[in-house]
Structure 1
Amino acid sequence: MEGPRGVVFPRTGESRSTSALGRTVVADALRAVDPVGARAAEHETDWRHGYLGHFRRLVEAGLLSREAALTIAGDGLASLHARMTVVDDEGREGPLADVFAAPARHEPLATATVEGDGTVEREFSLPYRGERLRGGALRRRLDTWVTDGVVEPSCAEAVGAVIANPDWLDLRDQRIVVLGAGAEMGPLPSVLRWGGDVVAVDLPRPEIWRRLLQTTRRHGGRLHLPVPAGTRTDDPTLTSHAGADLLHRLPQVAEWLRGTEGRLVLGNYVYADGATNVRVATAVDALTAQLRRERDDVALAFLATPTDVYAVPGDAVRHAERGYARRGAARRALRVVSGGRLLHRNYPPGVDPGMNDSLVPQQGPNYALAKRLQRWRAAVAREQGAVVSFTVAPPTRTRSVLRNRALAAAYAGAHRFGIEVFEPSTSNTLMAALLVHDLRTGGGPTHEQPWQDEAYAAAHGGLWRVPYAPRSALGLAVLLGLGGART
């Protein structure tokens, strides 16, 4: 039987074990800073269910110092790049590091450009619950989110700066590369609405490109898409021929992006199910490192998942503690009924920073590794002087989430605990505004510690400021949401 091609997991005996790779990379990341934690990860016998504590430890160990956090990030990246491999079309396997040095085996990609037919907007507005908020109504919504603990105050401040500087929305001086252009959370619709240039990369699937071309036609920007040389530029032909495969044609994509004129903003919005998520995340990271070696004008953009482990400011801890005190009677009753399994407090009293653990077991260790890889790259690139936009996005009703019945039910019941789950159009527009802010301010303010960079402008939906540790409320949220979950 023919094995996988492109970027693949290394062989472990007769198989390509995702668990073995995950254990080793986490252990390697921890080894220099937390050797005890590294040994614990190496000896974890049930990685599929036991990974949660080890991913938490990666963040905890990084709080020792700035140097500790950057060492974990750099060593984790180095381990992954040293271990993942590439299998070419003939079945030959080699190191990931050699992928860009191999002779070109595929025809280079050409660029087709599609101009939108719509008007260009120069005022920031946000779709929210059937309305389009702007001006005073939008500022009031931001204030309400801050009061309710849905976003960090710095998030509202950053969006407020974009509202106050509408000229920032003119992104014609940038080339916004959207890797995973069809993703629901990406900035593509907003950049096109504001008249900007989007360089789109996604798989050669007609349904993706049909949707992207329709979006482009509605707005006033320009879409630059990869096509075989000589492709006609009518929409039906572009729909059938556009696309580039990051997993299997990485050098081809790198060559195409290398020749893009203008400042590159390399936006990572890729997602795949299961183990493929780690493979494509690794491919994107290899592409990122290669382009940064070849060009000195590459900015990076990431959307972080809210369902991860983060160090959070003391103000978020105090907000959660006030809520915990207000819910005393109901909390005690539920804890007694559940035998103490439900509704643990989110943080020990008075800690600063707090440790928010919102990892969701159902998402699995491959998802956690793929997202942690992006956090590591953001930290390392920022330290090296790159402009980096890294923002924690809110829980959102995306198609990938709603395919998981347990997560869909949990999201439907989350409001009972003070967590707001966003619609995709609200999330991607809000995140696009934060991207604009970061691009116009050189990556946002400088912080002493990497965890503070990650916490800045976070739109976590309330997970950082609710009274209860998210996993201790997850089962109850699922039960409460079963009747309202969308399918």
Structure 2
Amino acid sequence: MHEEGLQFVRAPDGQRSSTRANRAICSAALTGIDPDSVTAIQNETNWRRQYPRYVRALTEAAAADPAQALAMATTGLTAAWQQVEWVRNGVAMPLAEAMRQPRPGAIHSVTLHGRGGAIEPFALPYRGQRLHGAALHAQIAHWEATGIIEPGCARALLRVMEHPEWLDLSDRVLVLLGAGSEAGPLATLARWRATIIAVDVPDPARWRRIAGLIRAGNGCLIAPSLQPVAPAAEPDQWLPLVGVDLLSHAPEIAAWLLSFARPLDIATLAYLDGERHLRVALAMDAIVATVSAARPDTTLMTMATPTDVFAVNEETALAAMRNATKAHPFGARLAAIVRTLSGGRLLQPHVRELITSANGKRYGIVDCLFLEQGPNYAMAKRLQQWRAIIARAGGQRVSMNVAPSTMTQSVIKNPALRAGYNGAGLFGVEIFAPETTSALMAALWVHDLRCHNCAANPDFPLDHPLELLTANANHGGLWRNGFLPRTALPLAAAIGWMKPQKP
């Protein structure tokens, strides 16, 4: 059976290697900027464990110069497209060429309207309650005061509360690539009158959940099907038919989206395990690039992860440095003992210095990568950062907000991460439930669609392109933590193992 759809290009030995792609992308982005890192990448023999070093090098080089950050994003994303190809009927072609040759009429539309009534005010499901009004104000203030969210995130959430009229999304067409994402915004958006074009794989159980959320709300669902569906068909008739695979039908999905006359707001939400996540990130990028080129009024949304490497503002970096001095919860002396006994592997300081950028501002590097997530996940998230930077520089509105670490099924099935998350509270880090993250990210997306004085608006001046990525971050406390998170994870996991495991 032939491999079909988006695949990594074959190496001279005939193998398709995500590691080879990772190294080529990093090298391309750093060529001419950081020759020592490029040499180290070429000589690296243990990419699986050493990749954080190179992701950090990408961030440090970008932070040093705003113009360099944009150039690196362009070079890196170009290199990424060159590391994959499109295979159809056993014949390979460049990804860009494939996106220009969709099979005509391959995707049909299915429509479902919600049965709900009035728009629900913004309320946050949180630990068994639904917070709104004064209670939600108090929770937002608490998160900001304790360093769980950045001040920009607090301001954005409060603006949404102050403007309930923003929640009427009847004027928007929201495209969710990976609509069934567990922590994605679908459940909340379905109650705000949006037209939602949902793209996800064929899976009746998944689509039954999506249809249930739409029926309970007041929005409109448009779903893709590879087979024609009668307009009056009931969901039970078409649920087994709908769905398309981003990895197999990216050209057709882009063409289908361009068949809708209204402007589109596209969210890239899909997640897959292992090397497939890097491939699906590139498939979504190809769809975004194709639609944006034809429709410059397209807006973009993605949910960044806090477990990545970012250049943060001086205030956030200094907070992490102060917390390193406090060495909470151990105290400086005990932390030093643990560090010594572990040979320096545990409880390393997080932010060690500030980088002075060419714009005159100082930034700190927060490195919250966990080895358990793997290099393909890190590279996929880097590609989304690069696309966001490029799109905003090109005049598109871009909503890219850091979502908190969330106890999703993809985390629960990794025993080390699950234990680490269960014990994260020891270090003042909050792990969120999927329904809370979903509502928060829906609200932040609405904010970025409606606001004028915010980073998402390309007319709003930023001192550095990387500030787009951090402005409204909810990192759960990871960024301001005094310890490099992956050097604290084993201790958090030890505590997590001893806690009762929630089903």
TM-score range, shorter chain: over 0.9
| 1:191–1:197 Cα contact (<8 Å) kept | no
Alignment of 1:435 onto 2:465: no
* Other-structure match for 1:322: 322
Q: Any unmatched runs of 5+ in structure 2?
A: 356-361
Q: 1:168 aligns with which of 142, 166, 181?
A: 166
Amino acid at match of 2:364: G
- In 2, Cα distance between the equivalents of 1:108 and 1:202? 16
Deviation at 1:345, TM superposition (A): 1.7
C-alpha deviation, 1:141, in angstroms: 0.4
- What is the distance in 2 between the residues matched to 1:77 and 1:389? 19
Q: Which runs of 5+ in 1 are unaligned?
A: none
DSSP-derived class of the 1:270 partner: coil
Query: Per-residue CA shift, 1:204-257, capped at 9, x if unaligned?
Result: 111110111111111111111112223453011121111122111122211211
2:44 counterpart residue number: 44
CA distance in 2, matches of 1:318, 1:134: 32
Give the distance between the partners of 2:45 and 2:265, measured in 1 at CA: 41
Q: Is the 8 A contact 2:353 2:364 kept in 1?
A: no
The 1-side partners of 2:441 and 2:114 are apart by 22
> After superposition, what is the alpha-carbon deviation per residue over 1:2-47, rounded to whole angstroms, capped at 9, x for unaligned?
3421000000122111111110111001113223322222221221
The TM-score, its normalising length taken from structure 1, stands at 0.96
- Amino acid of the residue matched to residue 236 of structure 1? D
Matched, 1:412 2:422: yes
Partner of 1:218 in structure 2?
A: 216
Matched, 1:394 2:404: yes
SS in 1 for 2:175: strand
Superposed counterparts of 1:210-289, under 5 Å: 210-227=208-225, 228-231=227-230, 233-289=233-289
Match of residue 339, structure 2, among 329, 335, 339 = 335
Alignment-derived partner of residue 464 in structure 1: 479
Identify the residue that residue 56 of structure 2 maps to in structure 1.
56
| Equivalent residue letter for 1:108 | A
Measure the CA separation in 1 of the matches of 2:338 and 2:39.
37
Paired residue for 1:379?
Answer: 389
Asked whether 1:348 is paired with 2:352, we answer yes
1:299 equivalent to 2:299? Answer yes
1:367 to 374, 377, 383: 377
8 Å contact kept, 1:185–1:269: no
1:321–1:467 CA contact under 8 A, matched in 2: yes
Instruction: State the SS of the aligned residue for 1:354.
Output: strand
The aligned counterpart of 2:358 is none
* 3-state SS of 1:263 partner: coil
The Cα of 1:353 is off from its aligned counterpart by 1.3
Question: 1:1-40 alignment to 2 at 5 Å?
Answer: 2-12=1-11, 13-40=13-40
Deviation at residue 350 of structure 1 after TM alignment: 6.4
Amino acid of the residue matched to residue 240 of structure 2? S
Q: Percent identity?
A: 39
**Is this contact kept in 2: 1:120–1:219, CA < 8 A?**
no
Question: How many angstroms apart in 2 are the aligned matches of 1:122 and 1:286?
Answer: 35
Task: Give the residue type in structure 2 aligned to 1:72.
Answer: M
Q: What residue is the counterpart of 1:100 in the other structure?
A: 99
The whole-number CA distance in structure 2 between the counterparts of 1:255 and 1:324 is 51
**Structure 1 contact 402–486 (Cα < 8 Å) conserved:** no
Range with bigger deviation, 464-473 or 340-349 = 340-349
Shift of 1:405: 0.6
2:186 and 2:470 mapped to 1: Cα distance? 24
| Deviations, residues 438-457 of structure 1 (Å, cap 9, x unaligned) | 11125255311022111101
Report the aligned-residue RMSD.
1.6
- In the other structure, the counterpart of 2:85 is 85
In 2: Cα distance, 1:469 partner to 1:47 partner: 20
Which residue in the other structure is 1:202 paired with? 200
Distance 1:386 1:247 in 2: 25
- Which segment is superposed worse, 322-331 or 253-262? 322-331
- Once residues 32 and 438 of structure 2 are traced to their aligned partners in structure 1, the CA distance between those partners, rounded to angstroms, is 38
CA-CA distance at 1:402 after TM superposition: 0.9
